[in-house]
Amino acid sequence: MKKLTPQETRETFLDFMESKGHLRISGSSIIPKDDPSLLFINAGMAPMKSYFSGKETPPQSDLCNIQPCIRTIDIEDVGDRHHLTFFEMMGSWSIKNYFKDRAIDLAYELLTERFEFPKEKLYVTVYGGDKEKGIPADEDSIRFWQKTGMPDSHIVVLGEDNFWSAGDTGPCGPCTEIFFDTGDSHGKSYEKTGEFDTQNRYIEIWNAGVFMQYNRREDGTLEKLPFMSVDTGSGLERMVMTLNEKESVYDTESFKPYMDFIVDKMKLTDEDGMASARRVADHIRAATLILSEGVVPGKDGRDYIPRRLIRRSASIAMLRNAPGFSFDTLTKMVIDNMGQAYPKMRINQEAIRQTMAQELMSFQRSVKQGVRQFDKLTRDSDTLTGQQVFDLRSSLGMPLDLISELAKERKISVDMEGYKAEFAKHQMISRNLGGRK
Ligand code: GLY
């Protein structure tokens, strides 16, 4: 595998796609334009939905770019090896031009010849179909993978995970994804009859093609799109992690300076501590980008996302009791590192730092209020109901970790199952605006 920096990885990808006739276009802001189905741009294709539906005509049928993405649906997974709230997606598209065979050939050539991944370490997943919805299994992709030389034992047929859309509505279709095997130290190897682990050992490095052929309507039913297209996407940070054989995205140069700072100042050493450091690094990096776009932390919708990211980080710092740690220093590091690629970070630097400081102060006030409310609720009871936990979180912005810590300290039991049910109910109501994993 080629050891490449993030910039070399971007260039290798764009250069390859250009050499194959794709037009390099610029990425868009993370704030969607005229798309109420998303809080943030969560995939390279999201700003281009109208090309897939035929409402607008692209400058050329085959395109490529690098798109910053915010995936709110992944926030709870952050802390593992590879999930991020904010990542850069390398993407390519073919609108009403080539389809599965060329998409698979291109992905395979890019990975094995340009990035020089060892063939035996690649696995692919394909869509197994859905009888109820009348969608057939993707036999074509299996055939095209076999043609590249991919052994059958590395072709995994999966269900819903291989049907992709950017949100609850809009263009969608079956997809085929490529995973890199990071080896025995990360879990059992996949055997044909066994479970394919997509969380730890096998890291998804490329969605080699969403084969766009349907539009999902508001009521969840699918209608055929007027023509078929290909949408691909790969997380830059994961690609850099695997190319450089790093343990996690947080060990790559995009995160290392933040991680070193957080680990040092918060004095984190154990495994839980590392997961906390990863959360803080990811969340402050993501919040800085979001604030640079003029979003102000608040109670609902888009505004709630930076609030959640900042407050979750603040509660980690609070629980770790780390007086030497400074959010402002970390924010400044993010701006210094990323300001060239994201000029609004530099231009709005003062506003970002001020907003961050205000949010942290208002969090401290809420925590004080939250602790008072917690004590009131448990004055005559040694249990906190799911609804009460949900209210402490949603009305007063108390992070769950902090509620759990308080409960432990004051010997109060918490109905977590009840809380999860409340949370799920709320998520259903407010619709999933965060996109797919
Ligand atoms: N648009 C394909 C993906 O995000 O995986």
Rounded Cα–Cα distance for residues 116 and 16 (Å): 13
Cα–Cα distance between 188 and 181 in angstroms, integer? Answer: 11
**Residue nearest (by alpha carbon) to ligand 1 atom 2:** 233
Top pLDDT among 51 and 393 is at 51
Separation of 231 CA from ligand 1 center, angstroms? Answer: 7
Task: Give the pLDDT of residue 437.
Answer: 44
Query: What's the gap in Å between 296 CA and the centre of ligand 1?
Result: 28
Angle between helices 256-266 and 271-292 (to 10 degrees): 120
Asked whether the beta carbons of 388 and 381 are under 8 A apart, the reply is no
Residue with more model confidence, 168 or 225: 225
pLDDT averaged over the chain? 94
Mean pLDDT computed over 269-275: 90
Query: What number does the ligand 1 atom closest to the CA of 43 have?
Result: 4
**Distances in whole angstroms, Cα of residue 170 to Cα of each of 45, 56, 162:** 11, 14, 16
Ligand 1 probe mutation, 40, 42, 207, 229, most atoms within 8 A of CB: 207
pTM of the model: 0.89
- Please choose from 67, 210, 211, 437 the residue to mutate so as to test ligand 1's pocket, defined by most ligand atoms within 8 A of CB: 210
Residue 252 C-alpha to ligand 1 middle, in angstroms?
A: 22
For helices 100-109 and 139-148, give the axis angle rounded to 10 degrees: 40
Question: Quick one: which atom of ligand 1 is closest to the CA of 44?
Answer: 1
Query: Region 50-55: what's the mean pLDDT?
Result: 95
Cite the DSSP H helix spans in 256-326.
256-266, 271-292, 301-320
Cβ–Cβ contacts within 10 Å for residue 432, how many?
Answer: 14
Cβ(307)–Cβ(315) below 8 Å: no
Q: What is the mean pLDDT of residues 150-171?
A: 93
Q: d(Cα 62, Cα 68) in Å, to the nearest integer?
A: 20
Model pLDDT, residue 133: 86
Q: How many residues in the chain? A: 437
Q: In the Cβ-directed half-sphere of 305, how many Cα atoms lie within 13 Å?
A: 28
Integer Cα distance of 321 and 324 in angstroms: 9
CA–CA gap between residue 255 and residue 285 (Å, rounded): 9
CA dist 117 and 245 (Å) reads: 11
Place of tokens 């060990």: 251
Answer yes or no: are the C-beta atoms of 172 and 163 closer than 8 Å.
yes
What is the pLDDT at residue 192?
Answer: 61
User: Ligand 1 pocket by C-beta < 6 Å: which residues?
Assistant: 43-45, 164, 207, 210, 231, 233
> Can you tell me the mean pLDDT for 299-315?
93
Three-class DSSP category at 89: strand
- Above pLDDT 70, what percent of the chain? 97
pLDDT tens, 73-94? 888 899 999 999 999 999 999 9
Nearest ligand 1 atom to the CA of 232 is: 2
Which residues lie across from 90 on neighbouring strands? 66, 234
How much distance in Å is there from the Cα of 176 to the middle of ligand 1?
10
Extract the tokens encoding 304. Answer: 């709630």
Confidence band for 243, pLDDT divided at 50, 70 and 90:
very high
177 has pLDDT over 90: yes
